[in-house]
A and B are shown apart, each in its own frame.
Chain A
Amino acid sequence: MSIAIDDVSRQREWGPLRQLLRSQPFWVTVALGLMCLVMAHVSNVFFTDDNFFNVTRNFAFIGIIALGMTAVIITGGIDLSVGSVVGISGIATGMVLNAGYHWWLGILAGILTALACGLVNGLLIAYLKLSSFIVTLGMFGIARSLAQVLSQNHMIYQLGPDEKIFNDVGGGVLFGVAHTFIVLLVLMFVLIIAFRYTTWGRWVYAIGGNEQAARLTGVPVNRIKVSVYVLSGLMSGISAVMLVGWQGAAINAMGTGYELRAIASSVIGGADLMGGAGGAYGAFIGAALIEVIRNSLLLAGVDANWEGTFIGLFIVFAVLLSKFRGMRSG
């Protein structure tokens, strides 16, 4: 009898292959591969180094933010403030550089500003039990407005004595890809490990799965909740600093609309807005897919106004896909 149970306990309901076939990021990767194959025939520009460089750089800014967004979404929350946080964080960086300080102080200013925004979001949501939608909607308005106030609605394009170094941080190239893309890859790997192999990561999933159960078993639910909003802020800050460096200027409209693109990336990559599901690779591949759709339409000579339609269809399709997966397992 006990031998039989030992045999059973080593098995699992779904083998590795079946798990792969049921994972949304896998199918998004397949879709992305197919799209690239089609584009290889449609356009002779698609598979050039230049285009690869542009595409990877373009989606890296959103991809970094989507990583933080995914952590928030897994806990069952949402962060609508990321675009505005990019705005105020970029302005903070720009102002510090413009005042003639070191390049790393500029970076620090941007990151700290973003962390502060994330911390405020997190504290209000975790300890005052306010809805994440409302709190981050508030921060969405506040951060953008403060960015406009601080910059007095001017563009900051003189980035002080360290301008060259700073522009190289954000706009530089390494191994044929933009620095930002390398940052995205590194952060993605760190988060893949963190989600799977640290208690922090498991607790993030546990809170999304059953917050009450997590509390009863002694998971520090409030602290973990604060941490995901701080992480989301941090990612927005990193993205903002890289953006300012790449563009060589800070404007207060920077990051407008990024929240929706980041949410779309997470959701296409398998994140469930009800919480409990999602992943770092999913956020990466979701962001990549959106950019490749955009790029493909452009190269195929389709009117740019169609972009929203195609991306919108993909989002709805992704949610449908996860719904069907949910139905079969339920």
Chain B
Amino acid sequence: MRLFELQGISKNFGAIQALNGVNLKIDSGEVLGLMGDNGAGKSTMIKIMAGNFPPSSGEIWLKGEKVAFQNPLDARKKGIEVVYQDLALCDNLTAAENVFLGREAKIKFGPFKFIHYAAMFREAARHFAELKSETRPRDLVKQMSGGQRQAVAIARTRLSKPDIVLMDEPTAAISVRQVAEVLDLIRRLRDRGVAVILISHRMPDVFAVCDHVSVMRRGKVVADKPIGTTSPEEVTGLITGAIEKA
């Protein structure tokens, strides 16, 4: 049984056809690279997968069941987490508070419920250790490096134990050393059986971690290949349109 599959997804906004019969599939423990130029339809794809809006036509299959996401919260409940490009972190809170934001651990004290910091620090530390990231739960996010911030955003997705994690340009604005850190984080997720869909512009990153690569151009998937059977040159050609289809 396939974990997650999009079949013939189309989306139009008025007269604009953003997606045109797109197919996509991914299994547990796989990393899929989704590449394409600006305007190729990548963002529309993520938003459909994350439940921000429904497709105009086409089907979404999750664990052998046909699904329709009402909203992002619904998609999350069904096991799809998103790491947004801007990471959606609060700089003025600690790493642990960010990981648990909106889902704080609480302890009852008579009629009142108080935040259980000890549990949150402990749990967050465990998630960071799993990700092998040197991120300290008690530090404020504003003091952190780009790689550590990614670790916080990814640790947040671990709380709901998702099957699929969508990552939107996680390596776009960070240093070379931090990129290596983030790619390691993606490998840890994969090792835990999570399916990762990596949306990226950066060719070396995609070739470093992905098992498959799907290339989009003008609302269509023009190639879907195992990473071993393609090359950066071919993918570049597909993105720009120099190569029509592969």
Selected from A2, A6, A198, the residue in CB contact (under 8 A) with B113 is: A198
Given A198-B113, A206-B90, A217 and B137 contact (CB-CB distance below 8 Å): no
- In the bound assembly, the distance between CA atoms of A193 and B104 in angstroms comes to 16
**Which B residues between 103 and 127 are near A, CB-CB below 8 angstroms?**
103-104, 106, 112-115, 125
Check if B134 sits within 8 Å of A216, measured CB to CB.
Answer: no
Instruction: Name the B residues within 8 Å of A218 (CB-CB).
Output: 73, 102-103
Does B168 sit at the interface, judged by CB under 8 A? no
Q: Which residue of B lies closest to A326 (CB)?
A: B142
Interface: A10 (CB within 8 A): yes
Closest Cβ–Cβ distance, residue B217 to chain A (whole Å): 29
Minimum distance in angstroms from A7 CB to a CB of chain B: 10
Cβ contacts B46-81/A at 8 Å (1 or 0 each): 000000000000000000000000001100000000
Please indicate the chain B residues that have their CB under 8 angstroms from the CB of A213 in the complex. Answer: 87-90, 101
A13 lies within 8 A of B136 (CB): yes
Please state if B139 and A13 are interface contacts (CB–CB under 8 Å).
yes
* Interface residue tally for chain B (C-beta within 8 Å): 36
Cβ of B93 within 8 Å of any chain A Cβ, yes or no, is: yes
Known pairs A206-B93, A214-B102; A9 contacts B115 (CB<8 A): no
A205 within 8 A of B: yes
In the bound complex, CA of A11 to CA of B142 (Å): 16
Flag if A6 contacts B136 (CB, 8 Å): no
Are A1 and B132 CB-contacts (below 8 A) given A214-B90, A216-B88, A276-B92?
A: yes
Contacts of A208 in B (CB 8 A): 92
Give CA–CA (A199, B102) in the complex, Å.
8
Find the B residue at minimum CB distance from A277: B92
Q: Which of B90, B135, B138 contacts A209 (CB 8 A)?
A: B90
- Which of A9, A10, A277, A330 has a CB less than 8 Å from the CB of B135? A9
CB pair B92 A212 closer than 8 Å: no
Decide: A219 near B129, CB < 8 A? Known: A202-B115, A276-B90.
no
**Structural contact, A198 and B101, CB atoms closer than 8 A:** no
A312-330, CB under 8 A of B: which get 1 and which 0?
Answer: 0000000000000000011
| B104 to A, closest residue via Cβ | A199
CA separation between A33 and B190, bound complex, in Å?
57
| B104 contact set on A, CB distance < 8 A | 199, 202
- Nearest A residue to B112 via CB reads A198
Given contacts A5-B134, A199-B115, contact A205 B142 (CB under 8 A): no
A residues near B115, Cβ cutoff 8 Å: 196-199, 202
CB proximity of A211 to chain B, nearest CB, Å: 9
Residues of B within 8 A of A210 (CB): 88-91
Instruction: Evaluate contact between B136 and A12: CB separation under 8 angstroms.
Output: yes
Given contact pairs A199-B115, A206-B90, A2 touches B129 in the complex (Cβ within 8 A)? yes
The size class of the interface chain A forms with chain B is 20 to 34
Q: Does the CB pair A12–B139 fall under 8 Å?
A: yes
Nearest chain A CB to B208 CB, angstrom units: 21
Q: Does B140 contact A (CB under 8 A)?
A: yes
List chain B residues, Cβ under 8 A from A21.
none
**B96, closest chain A residue (CB):** A9
**Residue B212 at the chain A interface, CB threshold 8 Å:** no
User: Does B156 lie at the interface of the complex (its beta carbon under 8 Å from any beta carbon of A)?
Assistant: yes
Residue numbers in A under 8 Å from B139 (CB-CB): 12-14
Q: Chain B's nearest CB lies how many Å from the CB of A230? A: 19
Bound complex: CA of A263 vs CA of B128, how far in Å?
A: 40
Q: In whole angstroms, how far apart are the Cα atoms of A202 and B90 in the complex?
A: 11
Candidates A10, A205, A217; contact of B102 at CB < 8 Å? A217
Q: Are B138 and A12 in contact, CB atoms less than 8 angstroms apart?
A: yes
Q: Is B97 an interface residue (CB 8 A)?
A: yes
Contact flags (1/0) for A209-248 with B, using CB distance below 8 Å? 1101110111100000000000000000000000000000
Please indicate the chain B residues that have their CB under 8 angstroms from the CB of A214 in the complex. 90, 101-102
A8 CA to B136 CA in the complex, in Å? 6
Whether A206 and B142, one on each chain, are in contact in the complex, defined by CB atoms closer than 8 angstroms, is: no
Contact B137 A9 (CB under 8 A): yes
Within the assembled complex, what's the spacing in Å between the Cα atoms of A209 and B137? 18
Q: Chain B nearest CB: distance from A67 CB in Å?
A: 19
Q: Does B231 contact A (CB under 8 A)?
A: no
B12 on interface, CB distance cutoff 8 Å: no
Inter-chain contact B136/A217, CB cutoff 8 Å: no
Instruction: Tell me the complex Cα distance, A257–B102, Å.
Output: 37
Q: Please tell me if the beta carbons of B91 and A209 are within 8 angstroms of each other in the complex.
A: yes
Q: How far is the CA of A216 from the CA of B120 in the complex (A)?
A: 20
B156 proximity list for chain A (CB < 8 A): 217
On chain A, the residues within 8 Å of B132 by CB distance are 1-2, 5
- The yes or no answer to B84 lying at the interface (CB within 8 A) is yes
Task: List the B side residues contacting A219 at CB < 8 Å.
Answer: 101-102
Q: A198-B113, A209-B93, A217-B88 are in contact. List 8 more A-B contacts (CB 8 A).
A: A1-B132, A6-B129, A9-B129, A14-B143, A198-B112, A210-B90, A217-B101, A276-B92
| Leading 10 A-B pairs by shortest Cβ distance | A209-B90, A213-B88, A218-B102, A9-B125, A217-B102, A12-B138, A276-B92, A209-B92, A197-B114, A217-B101
